[in-house]
Amino acid sequence: MIDLVYLVPLLAVLYYVYRVVTKYSNYFNDKPIPVLKGKELFMSSYRMMTKKMSFNDWIIGNYKKYPTAKVFGVQDMTRPTFFIRDPELIKRIGVKDFEYFLNHRPSFGNIENSHPKALFSKTLVALEDQKWRDMRATLSPAFTGSKMRQMFDLVGECCENMVKFYRDEVRSKGGPQEHEMKDVFTRFANDVIATCAFGIKVDSLSNTENDFYLNGKKMMDFQRPSVAFKVLGFQFVPKLMAWLGADLFESKPRDYFTEIIRETVRTRDAHGIVRPDMVHLLMQARKGALKHQTDKHEEEEVKGFATVEESEVGRVQVGKGMQLSEMEMVAQCVIFFLAGFETVSTCLMFMAYELTINRDVQEKLYEEIRQTKESLGGGPLTYDAVQKMQYMDMVVSETLRLWPPAPATDRMCVRDYVLDDGEGLRFTMDKGTLAFIPIFGLHHDPQYFPNPDKFDPERFSPANRDKIHPGTYLPFGIGPRNCIGSRFALMEVKALIYHMLMEFTFEKTPNTQVPLQLAKQMVGINSEKGVFVQFRPR
C-alpha cells in the first residue's frame, strides 16, 4: 500500500494537472467555428513527439482538416488556440490590429520571472510589451541595408574561405568528394556568426572541432529530450521553472558565449577598437548612438522579394538607448546565432538540394552569376551586385516557400479582441488566447501556389510576383514582430551560392535522397537522411 506521505502529494499533483488540462475544455462551445478536439490533437501531437511525424506534416494535417474554415479552434492543454487559415485575417492580426497581438507565446518564461542567468527570456524573440518595443527600436538600426553593406566584406571573406577549402580538397584528394549539406552549411554559418556577431575568427571547415562550433552546436540542439520537458514545465509551472533557473540554452555553452562577449567588450572599451560587426553595433546601441539613417544607397537599394520591412515600432528612437546589461547584449548575440546558425544553414541545405536535382535552374542561375562577375570587371562581389541578381532572388524566394525554416509562428492576444471578417464571422478572442499561423500550410496550399510541391522559381518572376497574396508568403513572419535579420540572412545565402556556383557544379551522388523526405521531429525542419551533394569544379 502506498504510504500517505507520498499519496497525498501525488494526488495533489494529479489534481493540479487535471485542472490545468481541462480548464479550457469548453472554451470554444460558444464560438461559431469548428474545433479540433483535445483527443484528436493529443493523438497527432503524440505521433510527432514519438517521432512518427514531422512538425511540417502535423501543420499540413491540421491545416487540411477544415478546408473551408477561415479559422478553427484547437483545444490546447494550457491555452485556447485559434488556428488561422485565412490570409486576410492573418494580415489583420499580424499588422492592422497588431496592438492586440503584441507578444509570442511565452514558451520559456519572460524577463519578469526569469532567472538572472537565463538568456532566452532576454532575447528579442522572448521579450514582451514595452520591453520588446524598446529592444526592437534599439536593435533595428543595426539591420538596415547600410549596416549590411558595412558587414558584407566579413561575409564575403567567409565565402571565399569556403571556396578555397573545397578547391584545395579536390586537389589533395584527387577529385570531388561527397558532402552532407547540413554539416557543410552549419559550419559556414557558424563562421559568419563568429565574425559578424561575436567579433572573432574561426575556421570550422579546417578546424572541425573548434570550441566555438562545438559549443554552438550544443546550444542549438533543440531535439534533446530536456527541451520538451522544459517547454511543458514552463506551460504548467512557469514560476517554479524560473526559480530553478531553467533556460532553453544549456549552461556550459551559455557561459562560454557570455565570456566571449564580456572579454570582447572589455577589450574594445579599453583600446578603442572599432570593427563593423554586431558587437560594435550593440555597444553603440547601449550608448544611444545607433539611429535609423536613410542614405542614398538605402533609398536606391533593390530589395529581395522575401525581405520584410521594418515597421514604425522599430523606427522609434529610444532616447539614450536601453542601457543594455551585459546579459542582454549576450542574449541578442545568441539569438542572432540561433537565426544564423539554424535558419541560414537550413535554407542553404534545401537550396543546394533543389539546384542539384533541377539542373536547368542551376545552369540558369550560374549564367546570371557569370554575367554579374563580368559586370564587376573580375573584382570582388559587392552588396549592391548581390541585391541586383534577379534570378538569384527568385530561386531563394522559392526555396523559402517550399522549405520555410520557420514552419509556423504565433501571436498571443494581450487584450480582448473582436475578430470580424466583415462577412458574417464574428466572435471574441479573449486575452491570453493564442493565434497560430501555419506558414508551411499556407506555402503548400494549391489555392495560393498551384502545384505547390514543385520547385518553380518563376512564381517569383517580375511578371508573376504580383499574383502572390501578401498574407500567404511568410518566410520571415509578418508585421512588427517579423524577423529583424531578414536582410542579413538573404545577403548571406546569396553571397555563398554566388561564390560556390562560380567555382563548382552541384551534382547528385548515390546517397542523394530523391524525393527528399523530412525528418520526423518536434522542432524545425530538416531532412530525414541528410542531403548529400558533390561539389565538382567547373
Report if pTM > 0.75: yes
pLDDT over threshold 70, residue 207: yes
What residue spans of 278-389 are helical by DSSP H? 278-286, 296-300, 312-315, 326-338, 345-357, 359-375, 383-388
Q: What is the pLDDT of residue 170?
A: 92
More confident residue, 505 or 218: 505
Using CB atoms within 10 Å of the CB of residue 365, give its burial: 0 to 12 exposed, 13 to 18 middle, 19+ buried.
buried
DSSP, collapsed to helix, strand or coil, labels residue 392 as: helix
pLDDT value, residue 356: 98
Q: How confident is the model at residue 295 (pLDDT cuts 50, 70, 90)?
A: low
Give the residue with greater pLDDT, 210 vs 197: 210
Of the candidates 268, 376, 285, the residue with the CA atom closest to the CA atom of residue 328: 285
- Alpha helices (H) in 382-538, listed in sequence order: 383-388, 390-402, 439-443, 486-503
At residue 358, the pLDDT reads 98
pLDDT of residue 118: 72
DSSP string, 425-448: -EEEE-TT-EEEE-HHHHHT-TTT
| pLDDT tens-digit map of 101-143 | 999 987 665 555 556 667 788 888 888 898 899 888 888 888 8
Q: Kindly report, residue by residue over 346-390, the tens digit of the pLDDT.
A: 999 999 999 999 999 999 999 999 999 999 998 899 999 999 999
pLDDT of residue 1: 47
Q: What percent of the chain has pLDDT over 90?
A: 48
In the chain, what percentage of residues exceed pLDDT 70? Answer: 83
Q: Where are the alpha helices (DSSP H) in 78-144?
A: 87-91, 129-139
178-180 vs 532-537, strand pairing mode: antiparallel
Please answer whether residues 35 and 28 qualify as being in contact, where contact means their C-beta atoms are separated by less than 8 angstroms. Answer: yes
What digits encode the pLDDT tens for the residues 409-451? 999 999 999 999 999 999 999 999 999 999 999 999 999 999 9
* Average pLDDT over every residue of 78-84: 89
Which residues have C-beta within 8 Å of that of residue 306, sequence separation ≥ 6? 393, 396, 397, 400, 473, 475, 476, 486, 490
Between the alpha carbon of residue 443 and those of residues 3, 297, 494, the distances in Å are 55, 32, 21
Spatial neighbors of 101 by CB under 8 A, at least 6 apart, are 93, 94, 411, 412, 413, 414, 417, 435
Identity of the amino acid at 363? E
pLDDT digits (tens, 9 = 90+) for 301-333: 677 888 888 777 766 655 555 667 778 888 888
Bridge partners (DSSP) of residue 74 are 36, 81
Neighbours of 394 (CB within 10 A): 25
333 is annotated as contributing to ligand binding = no
Q: Domain locations in the chain?
A: 4-537
Give the DSSP letter of residue 302.
P
Q: Which three cell numbers stand for residue 159?
A: 565565402
Q: What pLDDT score was predicted for residue 163?
A: 96
pLDDT digits (tens, 9 = 90+) for 137-165: 888 888 888 888 888 999 999 999 999 99
For 4-537, CATH gives 1.10.630.10
Bridge partners of 410?
A: 436
pLDDT at residue 274 in the model: 83
* 418: enclosing H helix or E strand: strand 417-420
Assign residue 305 a region (left: φ > 0; alpha: ψ between -120 and 50; beta: otherwise). alpha
Computed over every residue of the chain, the mean pLDDT equals 85
**Range in 62-76, 101-115, 303-317, 521-535 the model is least confident about:** 101-115
At 109 the three-state DSSP class reads strand
Whether 453 has a pLDDT exceeding 90, the answer reads yes
Could you tell me which of 338, 414, 269, 405 has the C-alpha nearest to residue 122?
338
